[in-house]
Amino acid sequence: MDPSRPLWEFHFLDIPTSEATSTAVIRVPHSFGDGMSLMTLLFATARSAADPTRLPAMPKQPQRRGAIYVPPPRSAGALAFLRWVWSYLLLAWNTMVDVAFFAATVLFLSDPKTLFKLSGDNMVSNPRRRFVHRSVSLDDVKFIKNAVNCTVNDVLVGVTSAALSQYYFRKSGNTNTDQICLRSVLPVNLRASSSLHKYVDMIESSKSDDVAWGNQLGYIILPFHVAMLDDPLAYVRKAKKTLDRKKSSLEMLFTCKISELFLKMFGIKAGAFIFGRMFEHTTVAFSNMIGPTEPIELYGHPITFISSSAYGVPQALIVHYQSYGNSIMVTLSVDEEIFPDYSQLLDDFADSFWQIKDAASRLKYPLRE
């Protein structure tokens, strides 16, 4: 990149659409910062649409207060002590297994060839990408979450698995209903959960130099299943089981430190090799970001939607979820050579979401906030 030019670009498309009177496209390299860094900058720059004199309302902090893993509190009693010790043993075992699989993925373990994946002779991603997006209700996602007693991430991973399953079996014409296990790369923010609030306050107090910008990401190799399941909620339950297992592991911390170690010891080519092989040997990149909880404006211009995504990795499909206000934007970054019917793929996400919501509405459960 030319060092004499800024690392970011702003493109203003003064073309009315069904969503807004005009669109701003912001293009930045990932070296500038990860999703949390960019979201921090957005919060600090924007203002509330209801009251332009104040910052946007901050998202509710999650229950997790630490950076990654917080063990259960130690309680009195022999049985409670054994459970506390077992949690650490399980953490160590899961971490060892996950790090071993990560190393195997970098070296030789690759997903099977499917219609989602680039062929072995064409692992360089097409520089031309198609970005398509659609909004779903955040209240509906929370409705499913309460029905299944899971998290928002569980719901989104389950919807993704259901949508890709629907697309695969229709596109391939495969009548074999045996499930296919594929893997996705899930980046995880390593900062403490309170960092967004703290950094925005620091920028507002003219202490932006103290903000930890850049990338602080670990990576999870997350399995997902392509299968025809009779119960749409089974996709969410399976996603919950997989994510619960991953939460009892320090895989994301080790993958981050391993990448940094290779980068410092062997240079940028070694770091690029690790990331390249990780993406080449998996099928999908998956990401989810929390955005403003209320409508915002940027220098007097109201923002009607936020659609985030990425490109440049050797994967034909990137799935990104971005919350804003009372909605979640589903954004797909696709290689048009692999997904010429990208609009149909986006429809599969919407159809799968409504099927899962309809199944959740038929459950009887106590409503929780």
Question: Taking the CA atoms of the chain, what radius of gyration do you get in angstroms?
Answer: 21
Which residues have CB under 8 Å from 343's CB, separation 6+? Answer: 132
> Catalytic positions, please?
30
* Residues spanned by the domain of 154: 33-60+94-361
**Alpha-carbon distances, residue 41 vs 25, 212, 222, 337 (angstroms):** 16, 12, 29, 35
**Alpha-carbon distances, residue 333 vs 128, 165, 242, 291, 308 (angstroms):** 10, 18, 24, 19, 10
Residue type, 272: A
Is 86 a member of any domain? no
Is 299 a member of any domain? yes
Is 80 a member of any domain? no
Buried b (16+ CB within 10 A) or exposed e, 342-359: beebbebbeebbebbbeb
**Alpha-carbon distances, residue 227 vs 32, 170, 174, 221, 230 (angstroms):** 38, 12, 11, 19, 10
Is 317 a member of any domain? yes
CATH of the domain at 183: 3.30.559.30
Which residues are 155's β-sheet partners?
A: none
Is 81 a member of any domain? no
pLDDT tens, residue order, the chain (369 aa): 677 888 888 899 999 998 899 999 999 888 888 888 888 888 888 999 999 988 888 777 665 544 456 666 666 677 878 888 888 898 899 999 999 999 999 999 999 888 898 665 455 556 678 999 999 999 999 999 999 999 999 999 999 999 999 999 998 877 666 778 899 999 988 877 667 777 777 777 777 777 777 888 889 999 988 998 889 999 999 999 999 899 889 999 899 888 888 888 888 888 888 888 899 999 999 999 988 999 999 988 999 999 999 888 888 999 999 999 999 999 999 998 899 999 999 999 999 999 999 999 988 654 554
Of the candidates 208, 183, 188, 189, the one whose C-alpha atom is nearest the C-alpha of residue 198 is 208
Alpha helices in 248-307 (DSSP H): 251-266, 268-280
In this prediction the pTM is 0.89
**Alpha-carbon distances, residue 270 vs 101, 125, 213, 258 (angstroms):** 19, 20, 23, 11
Is 20 a member of any domain? no
Q: How many domains does the chain have?
A: 1
CA distance 220 to 209: 30
